[in-house]
C-alpha cells in the first residue's frame, strides 16, 4: 500500500501548493486604514475609516473595522481615504499647455506616434495624481486618422501601461469652421481636402448620425460634440451656436440609440439651451449660460462639467496667446463664476472635469479649490469627483463610492480635506482595481512629464 501511494504524494502536494499560491495572489486581502474616510456619498467624513480589499474588489467598509486575520495591513495614519477621483473632461493624448503659437507650428511636423508615446507619460501622471478614471473627450491630430485615445485606453486595460480607466470620445464631432475643425485658422486647402465625418466634421442631421456611427465603430465609449464656439480656436466666436436644433436632436438620438452618452463643449447660452432641450447628458464649460438656461438644466437633470481650471490656466498666462484668443478667454473667464454660482444655488448636478491638456497633466486636483472658492462645499466637491462623475459616466455600479462589491479604486490624501481642500493636490496613496499604484511620493519620471510641452495637436478645448 505504501509503495503504491508514495509516487502520488509529490503530485498531490504540488497541486495543493500551486492552487494555494494562485488563490493568495488573486485574493490577497488588504486592509486600508486611515484617520478619516469619505465614502463618496455621505454628508460628512467617517472617523477611523477602514476598507477591506480582496483581489480587485472592496469586501468590507466601515469605521474601526477589524480586518480578517492574516490580511496585509496598510495604515495610512493621519490621512483621508476616498474613492479614486474621476475627471470627466480630459485630453490625455494631447498637451496644449506650452506656447500656443509654437505648438500651432509644431503640430505640422509632429509624428502622431511620437505624440502617442508622450501620452503614456500623461496617463501615468494622471493616475498617480489620484485620478483612477477619466472621461477623455477628444483626441484629434490634423490630417491624421489615428485613434490614439482608443489605443491608450486599450493598452491600460490590458495592463501594458499604467494609467486611469478611460472612457474615450475619439475625435469628437463639430461643424465645418467650428471649434473642432482641425483646419480652422489655416489657409484654405493647406491639408489638401476639407475635413469630413472621418475627422469628426459633419453638417446636417444625417451626416451627424454617420459621424456618431463612425466614432462608435472605431471605439468611442462616449460622444463629444462642439455645439458652440471655443476659446482655443481661431476661426470662430466663443459663444455662437455651431449646430442647429435639428442637428443636435440627431446627435443625441443617434448616440442614445447606441447607448452612448453625449457630452457637449458649449460656452454660449443659445447653444446650451438648444443642447439641453435636445437631451444632452452634460454641458462642458457652460460659461455664458443665463440663469434661465441653468434652470432648464436643473429641470432636465443635465450635468454641468465646469472645467474651471482651463480658463484659470489660460488667464494666468494670457499674454502668451494671440489677441483674438485673449479676448475670448477673458470673456469666458469673466462670465463663468456667476454661472457656476447660479448652478450651485439652483442645485444643478455638477460633475468634476478640468480640461487637462490645456494645463499640464497631473494638476487636475487644483479644480477642487476653484470649485470651493466659488462657494461649493468641500464635501460636494469631493462628491462631484467621485459619485457624481460615476453617475454621469454611467459606471456607478462599479466605482464612485467605497462600498462592498465595488471595484477597489481608492486614494488617500494627507490630513483633512474638509479643512484644507488643497490636500487633494497631495495624494499620498493610489490603488486601482486592488493594485497599489503608489504609496508615497510619485515616481520621478512622471514629475513634470507634461510641463509646458510645446508639442501638441489641433485645439480641442
Which range binds Zn ion by CB under 5 A, 64-72, 154-162, 335-343, 348-356?
Answer: 348-356
Query: By C-beta, is 163 or 174 nearer to Zn ion?
Result: 174
CB of 460 to Zn ion, least distance (A): 5
Which range binds Zn ion by CB under 5 A, 33-41, 402-410, 417-425, 452-460?
Answer: 452-460
CB of 230 to Zn ion, least distance (A): 8
Query: By C-beta, is 215 or 409 nearer to Zn ion?
Result: 215
Name the one residue in this structure whose C-alpha cell is 477602514.
Answer: 50
* DSSP label at residue 423: G
C-alpha cell at 275: 443642447
Using CB under 5 A as the binding criterion, the count of chain residues that bind Zn ion stands at 3
Backbone angles phi, psi at 123, to 5 degrees: -65, -45
CB of 91 to Zn ion, least distance (A): 6
Contact indicator for 86, 56 with CB cutoff of 8 Å: no
Contact indicator for 243, 262 with CB cutoff of 8 Å: no
Which range binds Zn ion by CB under 5 A, 52-60, 295-303, 353-361, 404-412?
Answer: 353-361
* DSSP label at residue 355: -
136 forms part of the interface with Zn ion (CB under 5 A): no
C-alpha cell at 336: 463663468
Contact indicator for 94, 457 with CB cutoff of 8 Å: yes
Backbone angles phi, psi at 197, to 5 degrees: -60, -25
355 forms part of the interface with Zn ion (CB under 5 A): yes
C-alpha cell at 104: 500651432
Query: By C-beta, is 199 or 355 nearer to Zn ion?
Result: 355
CB of 25 to Zn ion, least distance (A): 40
CB of 117 to Zn ion, least distance (A): 22
87 forms part of the interface with Zn ion (CB under 5 A): no
- Name residue 159's beta-bridge partners: none
Q: Which residues are CB-contacts of 193 (< 8 A; sequence separation ≥ 6)?
A: none
DSSP state letters, 136-199: E-----TT----HHHHHHHHHHTTSS---EEEE-TT-BB-TTSTT-TTTTSPTTTTSS---GGG
Q: How many CB atoms lie within 10 A of CB 70?
A: 7
CB of 172 to Zn ion, least distance (A): 9
Query: By C-beta, is 254 or 355 nearer to Zn ion?
Result: 355
461 forms part of the interface with Zn ion (CB under 5 A): yes
Query: By C-beta, is 215 or 355 nearer to Zn ion?
Result: 355
CB of 232 to Zn ion, least distance (A): 9
Query: By C-beta, is 307 or 428 nearer to Zn ion?
Result: 307
Between CA 283 and CA 285, with CA 284 as vertex, the angle to 5 degrees is: 115
Query: By C-beta, is 46 or 365 nearer to Zn ion?
Result: 365
Query: By C-beta, is 34 or 272 nearer to Zn ion?
Result: 272
269 forms part of the interface with Zn ion (CB under 5 A): no
CB of 309 to Zn ion, least distance (A): 11
Which range binds Zn ion by CB under 5 A, 5-13, 245-253, 326-334, 350-358?
Answer: 350-358
- In 3D space, the residue among 80, 56, 54, 79 whose CA is nearest the CA of residue 68 turns out to be 54
* Residues contributing to the site for Zn ion (CB under 5 A): 355, 460-461
Amino acid at each position: 500500500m505504501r509503495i503504491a501511494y508514495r509516487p502520488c504524494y509529490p503530485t498531490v502536494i504540488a497541486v495543493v501548493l500551486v492552487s494555494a499560491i494562485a488563490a493568495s495572489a488573486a485574493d490577497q486581502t488588504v486592509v486600508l486604514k486611515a484617520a478619516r474616510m469619505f465614502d463618496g456619498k455621505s454628508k460628512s467624513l467617517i472617523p477611523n475609516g477602514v476598507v477591506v480589499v480582496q483581489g480587485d474588489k472592496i469586501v468590507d467598509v466601515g469605521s474601526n473595522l477589524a480586518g480578517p486575520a492574516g490580511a496585509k495591513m496598510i495604515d495610512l495614519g493621519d490621512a483621508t481615504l476616498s474613492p479614486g477621483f474621476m475627471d470627466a473632461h480630459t485630453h490625455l493624448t494631447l498637451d496644449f499647455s506650452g506656447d500656443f503659437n509654437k505648438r500651432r507650428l509644431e503640430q505640422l511636423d509632429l509624428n502622431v506616434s511620437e505624440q502617442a508615446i508622450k501620452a503614456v507619460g500623461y496617463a501615468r501622471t494622471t493616475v498617480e495624481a489620484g485620478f483612477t478614471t477619466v472621461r477623455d473627450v477628444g483626441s484629434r491630430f490634423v490630417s491624421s486618422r489615428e485613434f490614439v485615445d482608443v489605443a491608450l485606453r486599450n493598452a491600460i486595460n490590458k495592463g501594458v501601461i499604467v494609467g486611469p480607466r478611460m472612457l474615450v470620445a475619439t475625435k469628437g464631432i463639430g461643424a465645418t469652421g467650428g471649434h473642432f475643425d482641425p483646419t480652422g485658422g489655416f489657409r484654405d486647402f493647406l491639408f489638401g481636402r476639407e475635413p469630413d465625418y472621418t475627422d469628426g466634421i459633419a453638417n446636417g442631421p444625417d451626416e451627424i448620425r454617420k459621424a456618431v456611427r463612425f466614432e462608435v465603430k472605431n471605439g468611442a465609449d462616449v460622444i463629444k460634440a462642439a455645439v458652440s464656439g471655443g476659446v482655443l480656436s481661431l476661426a470662430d466666436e466663443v459663444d455662437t451656436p455651431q449646430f442647429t436644433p435639428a442637428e443636435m436632436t440627431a446627435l443625441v438620438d443617434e448616440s442614445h440609440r447606441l447607448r452612448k452618452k453625449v457630452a457637449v463643449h458649449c460656452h454660449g447660452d443659445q447653444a446650451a439651451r438648444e443642447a439641453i432641450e435636445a437631451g444632452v447628458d452634460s454641458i462642458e464649460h457652460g460659461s455664458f449660460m443665463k440663469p434661465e438656461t441653468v434652470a432648464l438644466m436643473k429641470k432636465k437633470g443635465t450635468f454641468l462639467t465646469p472645467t474651471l481650471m482651463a480658463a484659470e490656466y489660460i488667464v494666468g498666462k494670457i499674454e502668451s496667446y494671440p489677441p483674438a484668443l485673449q479676448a475670448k478667454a477673458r470673456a469666458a473667464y469673466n462670465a463663468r463664476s456667476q454661472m457656476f454660482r447660479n448652478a450651485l444655488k439652483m442645485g444643478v448636478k455638477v460633475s468634476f472635469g478640468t480640461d487637462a491638456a490645456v494645463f499640464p497633466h497631473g494638476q487636475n486636483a487644483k479644480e477642487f479649490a476653484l470649485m470651493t472658492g466659488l462657494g461649493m462645499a468641500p464635501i460636494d466637491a469631493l462628491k462631484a469627483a467621485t459619485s457624481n462623475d460615476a453617475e454621469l459616466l454611467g459606471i456607478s455600479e462599479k466605482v464612485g463610492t467605497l462600498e462592498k462589491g465595488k471595484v477597489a479604486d481608492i486614494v488617500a490624501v494627507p490630513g483633512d480635506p474638509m479643512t484644507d481642500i488643497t490636500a487633494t493636490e497631495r495624494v499620498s496613496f493610489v490603488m486601482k482595481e486592488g493594485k497599489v499604484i503608489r504609496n508615497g511620493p510619485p515616481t520621478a519620471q512622471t514629475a513634470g512629464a507634461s510641463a509646458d510641452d510645446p508639442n501638441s495637436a489641433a485645439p480641442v478645448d
